[in-house]
Structures are given as C-alpha cells and as structure tokens.
Structure 1
Amino acid sequence: MAADPAPRDRRDPRNRQEPRDLQERSVGGAGTGSRTGAVPPADAVAHGGGRAVGRWRRKSLRFRLTAVASAVLAVALVVSAYVMITVLGNALLTTIDESIYQRARETVSLADAGRLPNEMTSPDGTLLQVIDGAERITHTTTGTDRLVPLLDAGERAAAIDEGEARFLDGKPYGIPHMLRVRVLSADRGQTVIAARPFSEVQTSISTAGHVLIVGTPLLLILLAGASWVIIGGTLRPIAALRRGADEITGTARFRRLPVPEARDEVHSLATTLNAMLARLEKAGIRQRALVSDAAHELRSPLASIRLQLEVALGHPEGQDWRETAEGVLEDTMRLSRLAEDLLSLARLDERGGTPARGEPVELDQLVSQTVERYGEAVTVRISGQPDVSQPDVNRPDTDRPDSAPGSVTTGGPESGSGALTGEPEGRPIRVTGDALDLGRVLVNLVDNALRHTSAPVVVELRAEGADAVLTVTDDGPGIPEADRERVFDRFTRLDSARSRDEGGAGLGLAIVRETVHAHGGAVHLEDASPGLRAVVRLPLS
C-alpha cells in the first residue's frame, strides 16, 4: 500500500512542474549573479591558491617541516585509532560469539543426553533457552523469559541455516541491551538459543574511543613539539653556517665557516664551503699579487719613457731625437711583451687548465720551425726523423759537421734515437694540444736560456716511453736547487736576473708551467753541469 502514492505523484503534472520551477529559479539566480547561486571565476580561485602557496613558502623551513610532520602524524594517528577500534570491536565480537557458541554446544550435549537441570545457570551471564518440538520452552537460565522465545520458529530456522550469530534487540523481551544470539539444534526437535548482552563490548569500545579522542590530540601535540625541537636542533648548524657567512666580509677573508661535529650532510656542506672559501682566498691572493706585480712592472718602463720624453722636451736643442726614439721604442716593446704575457696568463686562467685546442701537433716539425728564427744561437737535436746524412755514430758530437750551431741533428745514440720508442725510425713525434701555445713554451724557454748563456742553446726532442721529452740546455750560471721550483711563480726573478738589461718580467716560466700542465704534462729544471736544463714532458698521442 505504501507504493501507491509514488505512481500518482509521477503521473501528476503539478508534481513534475515543481522541480522544473526550482531548477529554473536556481539557474536564474546563478545567471543574475545572486549571492547564493554565483560561482567564483577560475582566475580568482587560482589567484587565491597562489596567495596561499606564496604564504606557505614564506614560512620558515622549521615551521614547514614541523607542519608537514604533524600533518602526517595526525593522519597516521587517526588511521591507527580507527584500525584499533575496528580490530578491538571485531576481537570482542569474536570472543562473545565463541563464548555463546560454547555454551550453546554444552547445552545441546546435555539436552541430547537428557541431563538438563531444572534450574540452569551460566557463570558468564549467557542467557539460554531450550525449546522442544511443540514450541514450548522447557529450560531457561535465571532472568530469561519462560513463555516467549527470543526467536520465533522461522527466525530460529534461518539462524540455524546461517550457522552464525546475529544481533537482537532485547527491549521487547525486557532486556535493556542489544543481544548477540546463536541458535543450535538438538535431538528430538529441540532447539537451543544462547544469547549474551552486547553492552560489555559497546562499553569497551566506547571507553577505548574516549581514551583515543583525548589521548590522540595530546600525543599529536607531544609529537609536534618533539618534531619542532628535533628539526630546530638539526637546522641549528645551518643557522651557524649562515651567521658565519654573514661575518665573513672583505676584511675577514681568512675566516672559515663552523663545521659541525656530526658527520652528516651539513658537515659535508660546511667542509665543501670551506674548501671553496680556501680556493677563493687563494685566487684572491693570486689576483692581488698579479695586479700589484703588474703595476710594478708597468711603472718602470712608463717612468723610463716619461723621463726620456721630459728630458728631450726640456732640452730640444741638444737632444739626439733618434736615440730618444730608440729608447722609447725599447721601453714600448717591453710594455708590449708584458701585455702579451699577462694576456696569455689571463687566457690560461680563463680556460681553467685546458688547452685552447685539442688537435694533433707534430712536435718535431713545430720545434724545427720555431728555432729557425734563432739562427746559429740554437742547436737542435731531434730523434724520430730520417737520418739523411747517416753520420758515423762513433764520432763525438763536437766532430760532426751537423753539430754546428743552427743545425738539426737527428738519429744517433747521443740524441735519443727513435729506437727508444720501439717504433720505426722516421715516425713523427705527435702530441695533442694547441700548436701556438706549445710553440710559445719553446720560445719562452729558449729566450730565458739565451739571457744567461754565451754558447749556443741546445734544444733536444725525443720520444721516451709514452712521453715526448723536450729539453732546453744552456751553460749559464744555473739556478740553486732551492729556487728551481720558485722561479715558476709569476713575477719571480732571482737576484742575479733583476737588472733590466737581463730582460723579462718573470712571467715566461709561469706561462710555460701553466701551458704544460694544461696539456697534461710536467716541467722541471735540473742541473746541466755546467748550466741549467729545462725538461718538458708531454704525453704522446
């Protein structure tokens, strides 16, 4: 009968009109921009979301980490509480079901044996009813109705078929609790009903829920406070790094950032930053030294030029203008060479220790072409080229016609023949790098040797193992062993070479070392007895 009004409502046009009117009013309200039906524009929502994201990003890292950790903990605690309540309820329910099932099985056993007592008792509070085939209650526990079964015949049959316990409201039977009921069948058409109040489970679940409701926020606050303290302690070394960085100014270049004791990521960061500061400090010292030395070197020729011009202009009538022009030109050439050396060093520093080009360079040809401009002032010996003259290898070098100054001596044991490389004689000595830079290395070494020698400079090139070995030897006064490494520093000149007529600004050997290192090689000075020998090793291609 309850289904009759629905068809009449669907057939009534007035009932169909009302929803349409409501829909039209709703659409009309949205179209007119009413406060209840208006939808905020998408750009306004996006702009509001952007402001929220901006405010979140402006918060401190400590606050954001604590907030995220607290949010994760809150979700975890809520889920844990829900799982706990669910598991607890299921566990208690299973316990009650097992209890009433055991009581029902015991009662069935007694009923089948015909040993049911007239007054049944239940220590755990289980309610029992035994119903015979005539629907009469024959035995009950104290407090159970003796006239009305807890379940009628149909419900008992369904419960037996299900084989599981079910819930039953006990108020119609004078029991102010929800019951958990289990039905088992016995012999001679008897049926046993076992029931137990569910209030104890509800009480336990309610108590656990109240504890969780009160304890979860307190635990969350405690964990959030612990997270705030722990994150603050973790970020404290970073704050110390920030304060240390603020204290490092242009006048405190030699200070370092504090390194935490813990061997963690902050320790690695502080160590890396201190290493960077050390490199910057070293680069700053080199830059200041370079500027100071360059200014000192530039001042001398500029002062000489100024003095010569002032004297010439002050006494023009007795001035030899040609001699003045020659003196000014000489100082100008010194300035030009200094500018070229500084530019070469700047380019090497800019490239960061790598050659300008990485192309194959036939070092033997480069040496031969470079020393041609020196004429008889340089003697060259190169191994690895064809021995055209085929000289007598038993004759000493001084007796050979091809050992004269300016000649190129090839082959022979005294020059390091190509047989030392394990390759056929005549194969070129090839390295990888920049031909212009390598040619400048040879020019600087030869020019430096010519300033301190009276005999021809000897240039030798040979292949030795996996290296090409280039040596430049002079018979000058040499350099003390303690100073042989120092002369490779920029603007370094020994006392014996400080006079201006010796030439040079102390940059030649510095350019040599930087260039050789950029090509993966090494350079050093050694005693030639008499004289000095510069040895350059470059890896063969």
Structure 2
Amino acid sequence: MASRAWRSVRARTTLGATLVVAVALLIGAFSFYGILSSSIHASAERAAEQRLDELTERLDGPGGRGIDTLEDEIVQIIAPDGSVRAASEYALDDLGSTALPIVDGASTRTIDRTPMLIVSDDLHGDETLVLAVPIEDSVETLSTVAVLLAVAVPLLLVLVAVTTWLVVGRALRPVTRIRREVDGITAEHLHRRVEVPPSSDEIAALATTMNRMLDRLDASATAQRRFVSDASHELRSPLATIRQHAELAQAHPATTSIDELAEVVSDEGLRLQGIVESLLLLARLDEGAGTHDEAVDLDDVALGEVRRLRSRGVDVDGTGIAAARVVGDPRLLGQLLRNLADNAARHSAGRVAISVIPQGSWVFVTIEDDGAGVPEPERERIFERFVRLDEARSRDAGGSGLGLAIVRGIAAAGGGTVSVDASRWDGARFVVALPLSD
C-alpha cells in the first residue's frame, strides 16, 4: 500500500513537471516560429520593395522601356484596363497574357506551384508595375524549423520526464527508508530511532523531526506505564485495607466491632473516591476538555482559603492579597488554591503566607510555608503524578501524590505556569502565574 502510494506521488510529480515543461516548450516553440516567420517575411518584403523601386526608376516611361531584358524576374506592366501592356521574358513564359494581381503592400501567391511574393507600384499614365519574387528558400527554411521543433519538443519532454522520474525517485528513496524504519517501530521498540543522513537537507530535518516525535512518544509511553503502575498500587492499597478488615471481622467477629469496621471502610472509601476523582480530573485536563470559563476574582478565592486555614488553627498571613481578576473555571481555580494551601499547611511548622500580586498582564499567586522546603533536585519531580517526598510518604500526611500534578494541570489549562523555590523562612514557596483578564 505504502509502496503504491510512493509510486503514485512519483508519477504525479513527474506528470506535473512534464506538463509544466510541455506548456513552456510549446509556448516557446510557437513564439520562436512566429517571430522567425515574421522576420523572414519582413526581410523578403523589404528586398522585394527595394527591387521594385529600382525597376520603377528604370522602367518609368512610355511602353516600359527595357522590361523585355529582364530574364530572371517576373515583371509586368498592367494597363488601367487590367491588360498586360508589357512583361519580362520570364513572365511571358510562365504567365503569358495573364496579369498578376495588383496589391496594396505585399501579398503571397502560388504561381506554377511556386510561392511568390507580389508587390506593385504606380507608373506614369495610370500604369502599374507588378513584381513577383519567389520565396521558396524562406518557405523551406520555415518548414525545416517547424520539423526540427516538432521533433525536438517531444524529445525534450521525454528527457524531462525521465530525468524527473529518476530525480524524484532518488529524492524519495531516503523518505521510503525513513518510512520503513518508522513502520517497524512498535510500542515495544520505542527506543529505536531513525538514522539521520549527513546531508543537512530537508530529509535530514524530517529524520530529526521523526526522532523528536519518537522521543516524545517514548517519554509519554514511559510516563503512562509508570502512571498505570502507580495508580494500580494506590488503588490497590485502600482496597486491600478494606478487604483485610473485612476478613478479620469475618474470621474473628467477637474481636472486631461493627463501628470499627465501618470507620475503616468509610475512611478507605473516601480515600479511594478521592484518588478516582483526581485521576478523572487529570484525564480531563490531559484531554483538554472544555471548562466553564468566566471572570473570577482571584483575590476572593485566596481570601476564602485564608479563612479556611485559620479556622483550622493555622497562622496564615493574607496581607499580600491584592485585587486581581482572571478568566477561568472557578471550580478548578478554587481547587488549585486549595491544593496548594493544604500542601503548605501540611508541611509548615506553623506559618503560611498567601499573596496575590498583579504585575503587567499577569497575576502571581504565591503560597509559602516555613516547613522543610523542597530540595532543589526534587522541585520539578514533585509535580509528577503519585510522587511524594520522603517526608510525606505516609498516606495520612502525604495524600495520594496527585495534588500538585492537578495544580500544574489546572495552571497549564488556563495558560499559566507553576513553580516552586525557597520561601522567606527557608520552606517551600509555590508561585502560580496566570494571565489577567482583559
């Protein structure tokens, strides 16, 4: 199928190039023939008119003196009534008493199967001098040129078609090789790459682009496998806990109370529900699913988080919150700030600061704490899914490891970014940049 497609491309390219060259050659051939024909006829007319002027000066007079001495030219003197008053010997032999036509300018006639150029001029006494000049050489020259063009143009077209076919085939050969190599790369062999030719041309650029695409596919497949593995582990953990307590209650009903089992099932069920909801949200963000975008006062959302954390006994500094409005999904923006606020409260030693600072066309939301901070080598990895640092390995303290991944996904969906560095208290400071509403 692919081979037929490449042959089709090769054939279409050759046909297209041949048609273009054919049109150009035909236009050139007709133009050349027309210009050459006009030039030859104009030259013959000038020569005939020049000879006619010479004859007019020589023969002008009663009776056409000396006309019978012209042996190799067809010359006639025509009376006003159209009869031949005098003629050269050559004209008498070929035409007899038949008069040549009187023309204005120059005209071509065939006399005795010979092409002639006829010109005429007035003499005294209303007589007309008519000269017929053979133009066989000119006609033969034009015929020869026409034959040469009729032969050369098709030969050139054949040469162009063959050359184009070979050149296109040679140009497509590396593309065919790249196609075969890529066609042989399956999901199990995403580590393979296409050989980049040393030509530094479009083919090399195509191979480089293919390799970059394979790099992205390989990274995506690796991340997907890791994500599936981590998700399976995270989902298996609460299910295993529920199953263990259920089996323990079934085996030893006297030692396990219904309330204790219900509490375990409820807690693990809520944890399982949170993981599933987070996974679904991340899937929607990955797919670019549409959100309910509207104008959102980001300062109101931030103040809401300040009040919520203070109600939990956390010392929160909200003095850096300034008015700022963005366009986005209020539910997602609220979850973004809540995830960062909960993360700061979970890792802080007692102090958290939330600020909203508009600057230019952007607004910067900063949430920082006085906890242990994030080591510099881990500052990018913590936004990956199911990643929890050693401090937050426990399920109770560290959550599912999806909160910061959701934060980055929501920020990216809104055209923003999120980063982490050191806070003023050497803890962690998360900075979210979002475009301001117009």
Which TM-score band applies after superposition, normalised by the shorter structure? 0.7 to 0.9
**Contact 2:61–2:124 (CA<8 Å) still a contact in 1?**
no
Question: Could you tell me which residue of structure 1 aligns to residue 92 of structure 2?
Answer: 145
Q: Where does structure 2 lack aligned partners over 5 or more consecutive residues?
A: none
**Contact 1:362–1:431 (CA<8 Å) still a contact in 2?**
yes
Question: Could you tell me which residue of structure 2 aligns to residue 433 of structure 1?
Answer: 328
Question: Could you tell me which residue of structure 2 aligns to residue 534 of structure 1?
Answer: 430
Give matches, 1:205-284, under 5 Å: 205-256=142-193, 261=199, 275-284=212-221
Q: Where does structure 1 lack aligned partners over 5 or more consecutive residues?
A: 1-56, 171-175, 383-414, 419-427
Of 350, 367, 370, the residue aligned with 1:472 is 367
AA of the residue aligned to 2:430: A
Of 313, 322, 331, the residue aligned with 1:377 is 313
**Contact 2:353–2:369 (CA<8 Å) still a contact in 1?**
no
Give me the whole-angstrom Cα distance separating, in 2, the residues matched to 1:257 and 1:62: 23
Question: Could you tell me which residue of structure 1 aligns to residue 275 of structure 2?
Answer: 338
Give me the whole-angstrom Cα distance separating, in 2, the residues matched to 1:109 and 1:323: 140
Question: Could you tell me which residue of structure 1 aligns to residue 354 of structure 2?
Answer: 460
Give matches, 1:313-462, under 5 Å: 313-351=250-288, 356-374=291-309, 375-382=311-318, 415-416=319-320, 428-455=323-350, 457-462=351-356
Of 129, 133, 145, the residue aligned with 1:196 is 133
Give me the whole-angstrom Cα distance separating, in 1, the residues matched to 2:161 and 2:97: 53
**Residues 242 and 483 (structure 1), Cα distance of their counterparts in 2 relative to 1, 3 Å cut:** closer
Q: Deviations over 1:257-297 (max 9, x none)?
A: 56674755x77766665555444443333322211111122
The reply to whether residue 110 of structure 1 matches residue 39 of structure 2 is no
**Contact 1:469–1:535 (CA<8 Å) still a contact in 2?**
yes
Give me the whole-angstrom Cα distance separating, in 2, the residues matched to 1:359 and 1:203: 85
RMSD (Å), alpha carbons? 3.9
Deviates more, 1:306-315 or 1:80-89: 80-89
Question: Could you tell me which residue of structure 2 aligns to residue 164 of structure 1?
Answer: 106
**Contact 1:487–1:493 (CA<8 Å) still a contact in 2?**
yes
AA of the residue aligned to 1:508: G
1:319 alignment partner, SS class: coil
**Residues 442 and 190 (structure 1), Cα distance of their counterparts in 2 relative to 1, 3 Å cut:** closer
Give me the whole-angstrom Cα distance separating, in 2, the residues matched to 1:417 and 1:505: 29
Give matches, 1:278-317, under 5 Å: 278-317=215-254
**Residues 99 and 478 (structure 1), Cα distance of their counterparts in 2 relative to 1, 3 Å cut:** closer
1:318 alignment partner, SS class: coil
AA of the residue aligned to 1:91: S
**Residues 212 and 326 (structure 1), Cα distance of their counterparts in 2 relative to 1, 3 Å cut:** same
**Contact 2:302–2:337 (CA<8 Å) still a contact in 1?**
yes
**Residues 438 and 197 (structure 1), Cα distance of their counterparts in 2 relative to 1, 3 Å cut:** closer
Deviates more, 1:113-122 or 1:476-485: 113-122
**Contact 1:169–1:178 (CA<8 Å) still a contact in 2?**
yes
**Contact 1:130–1:193 (CA<8 Å) still a contact in 2?**
yes
**Residues 243 and 104 (structure 1), Cα distance of their counterparts in 2 relative to 1, 3 Å cut:** same
**Contact 1:526–1:535 (CA<8 Å) still a contact in 2?**
no
AA of the residue aligned to 2:408: R
Give me the whole-angstrom Cα distance separating, in 1, the residues matched to 2:152 and 2:385: 73
Of 515, 521, 525, the residue aligned with 2:421 is 525
**Residues 104 and 325 (structure 1), Cα distance of their counterparts in 2 relative to 1, 3 Å cut:** same
Question: Could you tell me which residue of structure 2 aligns to residue 173 of structure 1?
Answer: none
AA of the residue aligned to 2:42: T
**Residues 120 and 286 (structure 1), Cα distance of their counterparts in 2 relative to 1, 3 Å cut:** farther
Give me the whole-angstrom Cα distance separating, in 1, the residues matched to 2:39 and 2:233: 92
1:167 alignment partner, SS class: strand
Give me the whole-angstrom Cα distance separating, in 1, the residues matched to 2:77 and 2:421: 116
Question: Could you tell me which residue of structure 2 aligns to residue 493 of structure 1?
Answer: 388
2:146 alignment partner, SS class: helix
**Contact 1:129–1:194 (CA<8 Å) still a contact in 2?**
yes
1:357 alignment partner, SS class: coil
How much does 1:166 deviate? 4.5
Give me the whole-angstrom Cα distance separating, in 1, the residues matched to 2:218 and 2:97: 94
Give matches, 1:26-65, under 5 Å: 60-65=8-13
**Residues 416 and 453 (structure 1), Cα distance of their counterparts in 2 relative to 1, 3 Å cut:** closer
Q: Deviations over 1:23-45 (max 9, x none)?
A: xxxxxxxxxxxxxxxxxxxxxxx
**Residues 228 and 150 (structure 1), Cα distance of their counterparts in 2 relative to 1, 3 Å cut:** farther
1:317 alignment partner, SS class: coil
- Rg larger in 1 or in 2? 1
**Contact 1:137–1:147 (CA<8 Å) still a contact in 2?**
no
2:400 alignment partner, SS class: coil
Give matches, 1:509-524, under 5 Å: 509-519=404-414, 520-524=416-420
Give me the whole-angstrom Cα distance separating, in 2, the residues matched to 1:74 and 1:178: 33
How much does 1:300 deviate? 2.2
2:333 alignment partner, SS class: helix
AA of the residue aligned to 2:421: L
Name the % identity: 37
2:120 alignment partner, SS class: strand
Give me the whole-angstrom Cα distance separating, in 2, the residues matched to 1:486 and 1:297: 18
**Residues 216 and 416 (structure 1), Cα distance of their counterparts in 2 relative to 1, 3 Å cut:** closer
Count of aligned residue pairs for this structure pair: 426
**Contact 2:302–2:354 (CA<8 Å) still a contact in 1?**
no
**Residues 330 and 199 (structure 1), Cα distance of their counterparts in 2 relative to 1, 3 Å cut:** same
**Residues 196 and 289 (structure 1), Cα distance of their counterparts in 2 relative to 1, 3 Å cut:** same
How much does 1:536 deviate? 3.5
**Residues 453 and 210 (structure 1), Cα distance of their counterparts in 2 relative to 1, 3 Å cut:** closer
Q: Deviations over 1:188-213 (max 9, x none)?
A: 77754432223323322333333334
How much does 1:246 deviate? 1.6
Q: Deviations over 1:40-80 (max 9, x none)?
A: xxxxxxxxxxxxxxxxx998232234334445555555565
**Residues 65 and 366 (structure 1), Cα distance of their counterparts in 2 relative to 1, 3 Å cut:** closer
